[in-house]
Amino acid sequence: MGLFFWNKHLSFEELNLALDGELKNDRKTTADKHLTKCHTCAQQFSELQNLSQSIEQAGRDMEQFADPASVWQGVEEAIREKKRVRLSWRERFGVSFPVLVARPALAFSIVAMILVFTFFVFQRGTLAENEATINSVTSENKLVMIFKTKERNITVIWLADQPAIAVPPPVVNHQ
CB 146 within 8 A of CB 135: yes
Q: Which is nearer to another protein, 76 or 131 (CB)?
A: 76
CB 148 within 8 A of CB 175: no
| Minimum distance, C-beta of residue 14 to another protein, in the bound complex (Å) | 10
Question: Phi and psi for 3 in degrees, rounded to 5?
Answer: -65, -40
Q: Which is nearer to another protein, 44 or 149 (CB)?
A: 44
Sole binder of Zn ion in the list 15, 18, 23, 41 (CB under 5 A): 41
For another protein, which stretch binds (CB under 8 A), given 74-82, 121-129, 140-148, 160-168?
Answer: 74-82
Q: Which is nearer to another protein, 79 or 171 (CB)?
A: 79
Contacts of 161 (CB under 8 A, 6+ apart): 141, 142, 143
Using CB under 5 A as the binding rule, whether residue 18 contacts Zn ion is answered as: no
CA distances in angstroms from 55 to 9, 12, 61, 108, listed in the order given: 26, 19, 10, 51
Sole binder of another protein in the list 29, 46, 54, 96 (CB under 8 A): 54
Q: Which is nearer to another protein, 6 or 72 (CB)?
A: 72
For Zn ion, which stretch binds (CB under 5 A), given 17-25, 39-47, 109-117, 150-158?
Answer: 39-47
Phi-psi region of 9 (alpha: psi -120 to 50; beta: other; left: phi over 0): beta
Question: Phi and psi for 93 in degrees, rounded to 5?
Answer: -105, -5
Would you tell me which residues interact with Zn ion (CB under 5 A)? 9, 38, 40-41
